[in-house]
Amino acid sequence: MAKINFGGIEEEVITSEEFSLEKAKEVLKDETVAVLGYGVQGPGQALNMKDNGINVIVGQRENSNSWDRAVEDGFIPGKTLFPLEEAARKGTVIQFLLSDAGQVTTWPAIKKCLNDGDALYFSHGFSIVYKEQTGIVPPENIDVILVAPKGSGRTVRTNFLDGSGINSSFAIFKDHTGRAKERTLALGIAIGSGYLFPTTFQNEVYSDLTGERGVLMGCLAGVMEAQYDVLRKHGHTPSEAFNETVEELTQSLIRLVAQNGMDWMYANCSTTAQRGALDWKPKFRDAVVPLFDELYEKVVSGVETKRVLEANSAPDYREKLQKELDEIKNSEMWQAGAAVRALRPENR
């Protein structure tokens, strides 16, 4: 492992230079990786491994949109695409990439398909950490491992195709074979990770659930709506309000942050913007700290996971979800966003 200094704290990471793709292929040469689920993470991880020369099969419910998508992506029914349980029986590494609620539903059947020495692979610590709610307790005679890409399944694939990769965390929950770590690192490299950093199942799920509800999605969307609404209330046009709230962030400023950090972005903005941002940053931080404290406590206590499992297991979940997403899509703010995106040069 390479030791990297993160803000004065030394951490260890694994890079593809240290653990090469050739080494990963050697570790996995006798394995059959069964990717169960072809929804969010499944396609990116499966296709990346396939392109990297790993023996990959996909397990998915037949006569579903995801089954059809797997066929479109080149997986062949009866050869590299199978119903869930059949794929699980054929695999020596079982990547359990169904939704959290889907894992709960299918676990009793999948558990019966696991053989001595198999590796059960997760990309989220949810099912293992909240076992009292999920009922997922792996048998003793298998490895239980995790590689969690720090991005959406779509980004796992697009970053792989453009050669940049995506960072991933990894963890070992159970090492039955004595090979759990090398299997985990090999799989992390095979799915296209830019680098891998160690975590635990518990830390992964606590940070992931907090991040999704916080800065990455929930907080971001809420803050955007608040600023847009204030600008509109004071007479700014939808175009101006959207550009000042979303477009400038996503098309300019966040790219500067990605290149060299927040201080570098500040340094490359006007002095007026610098001063205002530096003055208001602590005000926003102090205002939201109580919310983040509340959020983290609800993640740790299982309140958030209980909500997820109840909502996502409801028979009308998809209809309710689509209604919520349509409300966002059809709001003035995001209708303005659609119009602004259409005016980008590449879309005209």
Please choose, from the candidates 184, 153, 154, the residue with its C-alpha nearest in 3D space to the C-alpha of residue 170. Answer: 184
| Token output for 253 | 């400023």
The CA–CA distances, whole Å, from 318 to 138, 289, 313 equal 29, 33, 10
Indicate the pLDDT class of residue 151, thresholds 50, 70 and 90. confident
Indicate the pLDDT class of residue 11, thresholds 50, 70 and 90. confident
What pLDDT sits at residue 9? 84
What pLDDT sits at residue 10? 85
What does the pLDDT average to over 35-42?
94
Indicate the pLDDT class of residue 313, thresholds 50, 70 and 90. confident
Residue 266 CB neighbour total at 10 angstroms: 17
Least confident of 5-14, 138-147, 270-279: 5-14
Indicate the pLDDT class of residue 348, thresholds 50, 70 and 90. confident
What does the pLDDT average to over 178-199?
95
Question: Does residue 176 carry a catalytic annotation?
Answer: no
In this prediction the pTM is: 0.91
What does the pLDDT average to over 52-66?
94
CATH 3.40.50.10470 fits 211-347, yes or no: no
What does the pLDDT average to over 106-133?
96
What pLDDT sits at residue 171? 97
Q: What is the Cα–Cα distance from 238 to 235, expressed in whole angstroms?
A: 9
What does the pLDDT average to over 15-41?
94
pLDDT tens-digit readout, 166-183: 899 999 999 999 999 999
> Hunting for tokens 């709001």 — which residue is that?
331
pLDDT tens-digit readout, 315-331: 999 899 999 999 999 99
Indicate the pLDDT class of residue 346, thresholds 50, 70 and 90. confident
- Is it the case that residue 273 has pLDDT exceeding 80? yes
Listed by start position, the domains of the chain span 2-199, 211-347
Q: What phi, psi does 52 have (nearest 5°)?
A: -90, 5
CATH of 2-199 given 3.40.50.10490, 1.10.1740.10, 3.40.50.720, 3.30.450.40: 3.40.50.720
Q: Count of H helices and E strands in the chain?
A: 19, 10
Domains 2-199 and 211-347 share a fold: no
Q: What single-letter DSSP state applies at residue 32? A: -
The CA–CA distances, whole Å, from 337 to 71, 129, 241 equal 33, 38, 10
Does 3 or 18 have the greater pLDDT score? 18
Beta strands in 175-273 (DSSP E): 193-198
Question: If DSSP states are collapsed to H, E and C, what string results for 118-178?
Answer: CEEEECCCHHHHCHHHHCCCCCCCCEEEEEEECCCHHHHHHHHHCCCCEEEEEEEEECCCC
- Is it the case that residue 281 has pLDDT exceeding 90? yes
Indicate the pLDDT class of residue 12, thresholds 50, 70 and 90. confident
What pLDDT sits at residue 247? 95
How, if at all, do strands 119-122 and 93-96 pair?
parallel
> Hunting for tokens 């907080």 — which residue is that?
219
What pLDDT sits at residue 102? 92
What does the pLDDT average to over 113-123?
97
What pLDDT sits at residue 303? 96
Average pLDDT value over all residues in the chain: 94
The CA–CA distances, whole Å, from 156 to 80, 92, 115, 250, 344 equal 21, 23, 29, 19, 25
How, if at all, do strands 2-6 and 9-15 pair?
antiparallel
What does the pLDDT average to over 260-282?
94
What pLDDT sits at residue 118? 98
Annotated catalytic residue, options 124, 176, 234, 236: 124
SS3 117: coil
